[in-house]
């Protein structure tokens, strides 16, 4: 039986099969590398943006003596006359609109972070269009539900985070978005990428997870009141 039949391109059948095999092997090696580079790029973009939001949070705290909360709504409204939806906060978008209303951030694009629930912001920042569904990728970390963290607390405490899994508040993070990393912004104005534990998708900070509280965690401080961290997720698309 002949096996050296030539294709229209001048290859024998055996040569063609060898070439296909080599291409398949190279693709198997190259695709994971390319995907990792894409995720690294997305993580770098998230780090850059979370720093911008974090610095705006710092400036807000300097002027309003608190990070955004339900208690700062009246003062922001009085000072700015804003018509943005900042009252009755339930999602991180609602709190972050206070940063825009008060003039600390002038673009929705700063709130973008790649995730399964995010969209590229359209930068329309009027009334209900400002930070609409999917236009914010960052979760806001608060104390016991809706109390803002104190900037005087442990400087290693995270204030912002991405990418929470399915925009949920249970402390799980999506390991597929940033190559098994979560991006956090801390009170000391640093942005870090922390590992996500594969077994339960929880973010590790040392030997503890992000939402672990009490002695041995960043949330415990013997000199000040301890914190029970709560994740306020963004509004999913």
What are 66-79's pLDDT values in tens digits? 999 999 999 999 99
pLDDT band at 208 (very low <50, low <70, confident <90, very high): very high
pLDDT band at 37 (very low <50, low <70, confident <90, very high): low
Average pLDDT over residues 127-154: 92
What are 24-36's pLDDT values in tens digits? 776 666 555 555 5
Checking if the pLDDT of 166 tops 90, the result is yes
The pLDDT score that the predictor gives to residue 1 is 47
Label residue 128 exposed, middle or buried (CB < 10 Å: 0-12, 13-18, 19+). exposed
Residues in the chain, overall count? 237
pTM for the full model? 0.84
19 versus 102: which is more confidently predicted? 102
What are 94-120's pLDDT values in tens digits? 999 999 999 999 999 999 999 989 999
Q: Please report, for residues 11, 113, 181, 199, the alpha-carbon distance to residue 177 in angstroms, rounded to integers and kept in the order given.
A: 42, 10, 8, 16
In this structure, are residues 147 and 95 in contact, taking their beta carbons and an 8 Å threshold? no
The pLDDT score that the predictor gives to residue 13 is 72
Between CA 158 and CA 40, with CA 188 as vertex, the angle to 5 degrees is 60
Rounded to whole angstroms, the Cα distance separating 152 from 49 reads 24
């Amino acid at each position: 039986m002949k096996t050296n039949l030539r294709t229209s391109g001048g290859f024998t059948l055996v040569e063609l099969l060898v070439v296909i095999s080599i291409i398949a092997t190279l693709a198997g090696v190259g695709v994971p590398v390319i995907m990792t580079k894409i995720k690294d790029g997305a993580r770098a973009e998230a780090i850059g943006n979370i720093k911008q939001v974090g610095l705006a949070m710092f400036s807000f705290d300097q002027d309003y003596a608190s990070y955004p909360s339900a208690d700062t709504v009246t003062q922001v409204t009085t000072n700015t006359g804003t018509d943005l939806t900042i009252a009755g906060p339930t999602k991180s978008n609602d709190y972050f609109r206070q940063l825009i209303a008060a003039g600390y951030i002038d673009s929705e694009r700063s709130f973008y972070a790649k995730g399964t629930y995010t969209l590229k912001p359209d930068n329309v920042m009027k009334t209900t269009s400002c930070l609409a569904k999917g236009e914010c990728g960052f979760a806001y970390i608060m104390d016991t539900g809706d109390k803002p963290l104190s900037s005087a607390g442990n400087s290693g405490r995270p204030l912002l985070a991405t990418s929470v899994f399915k925009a949920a508040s249970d402390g799980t993070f999506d390991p597929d978005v940033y190559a098994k990393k979560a991006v956090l912004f801390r009170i000391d104005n640093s942005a870090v990428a922390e590992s996500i534990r594969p077994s339960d998708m929880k973010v590790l900070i040392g030997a503890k997870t992000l939402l672990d509280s009490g002695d041995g965690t960043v949330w415990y401080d013997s000199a000040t009141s301890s914190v029970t961290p709560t994740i306020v997720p963004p509004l999913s698309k």
